[in-house]
Amino acid sequence: MQLVIAPNNVLKQSAKDWKFETPQHFVEAECIEEKMIKLMKASNGRGLAANQVGLLWRVFVMMTEDGREFGVFNPVVKFTSEVMQDGEEGCLSFPELWLDVKRPMAIDAEYLDKNGKECTISLVGIDARCFLHELDHLNGVCFTDKISTLKLALAKKRQLKKRKHNGRTK
């Protein structure tokens, strides 16, 4: 399993529902979750969507602020707070690019765990931000799509400057 780095068309594609009814998917769910969590942690990330490893399934993994790691299969947001918050986001598929993105402060969501069990979750702050960031990936939306062209250009200029400073020009 390898990380997909932008630009790559798979990051702009919508993912399909994970089918727990399919015996192969039921068996693979735990393995996918485990591999994705391992890659997320090795890459120093808080979340990782299936698109980011070249899989077009509605699956992501995340780590909450209190350190809990878990897979999210077929997520659906049921509530978003009206209170919005600007916050800095990065993305493993966009190395060293940091953007201020406005997102709801809190969410309630439903999803299936690796065993196909229905789960509900309420998240606030950075955890809600992470969940929504990864859910966007499953819908073919990157965090770069959430800001103006001017802000993106300025952020990419900072990214390039940082890469040159660190001895990388790509």
d(CA 140, CA 163): 26
d(CA 63, CA 128): 11
Determine the residue type at 70. Answer: F
All residues at 6 or more sequence positions from 162 whose CB lies less than 8 Å from its CB, including other chains: 96
Q: Do 15 and 138 meet the contact criterion of CB atoms below 8 Å apart?
A: yes
Q: Do 18 and 59 meet the contact criterion of CB atoms below 8 Å apart?
A: yes
Q: Which of 21, 34, 88, 134 is catalytic?
A: 134
- Is it true that the peptide bond before 7 is cis, omega within 30 degrees of 0? yes
All residues at 6 or more sequence positions from 3 whose CB lies less than 8 Å from its CB, including other chains: 39, 43, 48, 52, 53, 92, 93
Judge whether 96 counts as a catalytic residue.
Answer: no
Helix H or strand E segment including 63 = strand 59-63
Instruction: Give the catalytic positions in this structure.
Output: 134
